[in-house]
């Protein structure tokens, strides 16, 4: 088998994967729950929810960090996923032979820290930022500089695994995890390195981030039955459910992976991306950016639409995304789309935002490895406007050689990846 693709570029193999979601820690636990159709969505008990329109999420509650805040939890989730992935690859845990590409949620100081500064300022009247700055000048809060600047999560992961060069922290909103993988693929194809550690992580379910999405009317408010709230492609879908997660993939030049006797779990065969200048939170009504991203990914992989056996959907459960995604897929795959399985992991783990593209990449590769397609759960009321085979409610076994994974983000960032059990 040639270890270069049709364009003469090195083939990119996946040799390690790790994941943590609200369904469990590690890919075995998560995969077992995901293919059993279990939901990880529950009532939020991390903070009081009185006064909120949405009171459910797929938080990860079994991981403790101190101080509890989004960058600390995101860092921990990334570490757990990366330990599993690098461990599986058999590469060095302390001196990883490649660069780090990391999708991280944008961080900022949170309310407990602002409150601590306000208290330390001694201000008993109206608190302003002048008071917070006065408290900051005491030097007592020095570690919070490091904690709340944007490059720290990746820097700590780079330290832990000894990755090479300057680590890249990135955001393309809800397609960030896929972009991290794309950057790794590109670096290997260019011959800059034989390996890349690509991670997506998000542990940012806190009151303000939840409220921000809530104020944009993006979240499901069907709080009564948390496990049933995320209903991608259903007629009664009413928004996404926030989730937390971390996922890591070890990518390698297939040639060097084989040379060292590594087990190849699958290949990243193609990447496609396309910007959308239509609106800050909505996609172009004609679906052209998503359609272009899918077509580019297929072309980059050297595949035709007929080659794809399964689509791991972006499938957020918002009225708009699912309609746009169905339309875009239909435009690319034509009549075949009525029978081409497409399912959404977000029906069970919620929308893990920055991590989603990476989490769903791991699930796509597990589908290739096991021949099992995880279902779209909570599919009770089909939407007649979206006649798709969403693999409703029950996992399905099928021969799957090529998978398309879609990620579409706020700000017009669309990224699609194609994975294969073998190169074509």
Partner 1 sequence: MRDVVITGIGLVSGAGEGLEAHLAALAVGGAPNTDATAFEPFPVHPVVALEWDRQIPKKSDQRQMEAWQRLGCYAAGLALDAAGAKDDAALKGRMQLIVSAGGGERDYAVDGQILTGLRQAENPGVFLNERLMGDLRPTLFLAQLSNLLAGNISIVHGVTGASRTFMGEESSGVDALRIARERIASGQDDIFLVGGAYNAERADVLLIYEMGGFLWKKPYASVWERPAEGGGMILGSGACFLVLESRAKPLAAVAGIASDRSRRRAGSVEEALHALSKQLGAKPDVVLSGATGIKGITEEEQAALKDIAPGVPVHATGNLVGHTMEAQAPTGVALAAGLIGEGRAGEALVTSIGHWRGEGAIRLIKA
Closest CB to partner 1 among residues 269, 340? 269
Q: CB neighbours (10 Å) of residue 145?
A: 11
Residue choice 63, 136, 264, 331 for contact with partner 1 (CB under 8 A): 136
Smallest distance from partner 1 to CB 397, Å: 35
Question: Strand 310-312 relative to strand 342-343: parallel, antiparallel, unpaired?
Answer: parallel
C-beta separation of 415 from 358 below 8 A: no
Residues 327, 386: Cα–Cα separation, whole Å: 8
Asked if 367 interacts with partner 1 (CB under 8 A), we say: no
Residue choice 166, 225, 304, 380 for contact with partner 1 (CB under 8 A): 166
Closest CB to partner 1 among residues 138, 263? 138
Instruction: Determine the interface stretch with partner 1 among 26-34, 61-69, 212-220, 344-352 (rule: CB under 8 A).
Output: 212-220
Smallest distance from partner 1 to CB 69, Å: 14
Q: Return the residue matching tokens 């799957």.
A: 400
Sequence-distant (≥ 6) Cβ neighbours of residue 116 within 8 angstroms? 141
Instruction: Determine the interface stretch with partner 1 among 83-91, 249-257, 331-339, 411-419 (rule: CB under 8 A).
Output: 411-419
Asked if 162 interacts with partner 1 (CB under 8 A), we say: no
Residue choice 45, 47, 67, 304 for contact with partner 1 (CB under 8 A): 47
Asked if 211 interacts with partner 1 (CB under 8 A), we say: yes
Asked if 358 interacts with partner 1 (CB under 8 A), we say: no
Smallest distance from partner 1 to CB 1, Å: 24
Residue choice 413, 418, 420, 423 for contact with partner 1 (CB under 8 A): 413
Site size toward partner 1 (CB under 8 A) is: 82
Residues 99, 197: Cα–Cα separation, whole Å: 6
Site for partner 1 in 215-254 (CB under 8 A): 215-216
Residues 341, 348: Cα–Cα separation, whole Å: 17
Site for partner 1 in 48-67 (CB under 8 A): 48-53
Closest CB to partner 1 among residues 9, 396? 9
- CB-side neighbour CA atoms (13 Å) of 193: 21
Active-site residues: which are they?
Answer: 174, 314, 351
Residue choice 1, 8, 66, 125 for contact with partner 1 (CB under 8 A): 125
Instruction: Determine the interface stretch with partner 1 among 18-26, 82-90, 249-257, 409-417 (rule: CB under 8 A).
Output: 409-417
Smallest distance from partner 1 to CB 387, Å: 30
Question: Cα dihedral angle (360, 365, 368, 369), rounded to 10 degrees?
Answer: -130
Q: Return the residue matching tokens 């709080």.
A: 223
Asked if 68 interacts with partner 1 (CB under 8 A), we say: no
Q: Is the backbone peptide bond immediately before 67 cis, with ω within 30 degrees of 0?
A: yes
Smallest distance from partner 1 to CB 173, Å: 5
C-beta separation of 357 from 345 below 8 A: no
Residues 347, 315: Cα–Cα separation, whole Å: 8
CA angle 95, 97, 98 (to 5 degrees): 120
Smallest distance from partner 1 to CB 286, Å: 13
Site for partner 1 in 283-302 (CB under 8 A): 289, 293
Of 35, 59, 30, residue with least CA distance to 376: 35
Residues 344, 332: Cα–Cα separation, whole Å: 19
């Amino acid at each position: 088998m040639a270890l270069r693709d049709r364009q003469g570029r090195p083939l990119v193999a996946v040799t390690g994967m790790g994941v943590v979601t609200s369904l469990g820690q590690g890919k075995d636990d998560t995969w077992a729950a995901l293919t059993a159709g279990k939901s990880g969505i529950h009532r939020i008990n991390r903070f009081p929810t009185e006064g909120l329109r949405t009171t459910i999420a797929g938080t990860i509650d079994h991981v403790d960090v101190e101080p509890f805040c989004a960058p600390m939890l995101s860092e921990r989730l990334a570490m757990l996923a990366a330990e599993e992935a690098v461990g599986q690859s058999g590469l060095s845990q302390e001196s990883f032979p490649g660069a780090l590409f990391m999708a991280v949620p944008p961080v900022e100081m949170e309310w407990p820290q602002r409150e601590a500064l306000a208290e330390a300022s001694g201000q008993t009247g109206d608190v302003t930022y002048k008071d917070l700055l006065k408290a900051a000048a005491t030097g007592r809060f020095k570690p919070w500089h490091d904690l709340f600047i944007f490059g720290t999560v990746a820097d700590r992961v780079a330290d832990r695994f000894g990755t090479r060069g300057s680590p890249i922290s990135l955001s393309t909103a809800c397609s960030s995890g896929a972009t991290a993988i794309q950057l790794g693929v590109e670096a290997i194809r260019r011959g800059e390195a034989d390996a890349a550690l690509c991670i997506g992580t998000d542990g940012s379910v806190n009151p303000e981030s939840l409220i921000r999405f809530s104020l944009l009317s993006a979240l499901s408010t069907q709080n009564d039955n948390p496990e049933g709230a995320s209903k991608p492609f259903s007629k009664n879908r009413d928004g996404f459910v926030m989730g937390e997660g971390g996922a890591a993939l070890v990518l390698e030049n297939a040639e060097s992976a084989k040379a060292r006797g590594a087990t190849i779990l699958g290949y990243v065969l193609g990447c496609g991306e396309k910007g959308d200048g239509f609106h800050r939170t909505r996609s172009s009504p004609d679906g052209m950016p998503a359609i272009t991203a899918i077509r580019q990914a297929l072309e980059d992989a050297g595949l035709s639409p007929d080659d794809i056996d399964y689509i791991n959907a972006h499938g957020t459960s918002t009225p708009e995304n699912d309609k746009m995604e169905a339309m875009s897929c239909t435009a690319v795959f034509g009549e075949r789309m009525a029978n081409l399985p497409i399912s959404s992991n977000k029906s069970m783990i919620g929308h893990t935002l920055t991590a989603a593209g990476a989490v769903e990449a791991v699930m796509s590769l597990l589908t290739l490895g096991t021949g099992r397609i995880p279902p779209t759960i909570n599919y009770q009321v089909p939407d007649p406007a979206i006649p798709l085979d969403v693999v409703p409610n029950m996992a399905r076994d099928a021969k799957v050689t090529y998978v398309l994974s879609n990620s579409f983000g706020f700000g017009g960032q669309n990224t699609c990846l194609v994975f294969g059990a073998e190169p074509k």
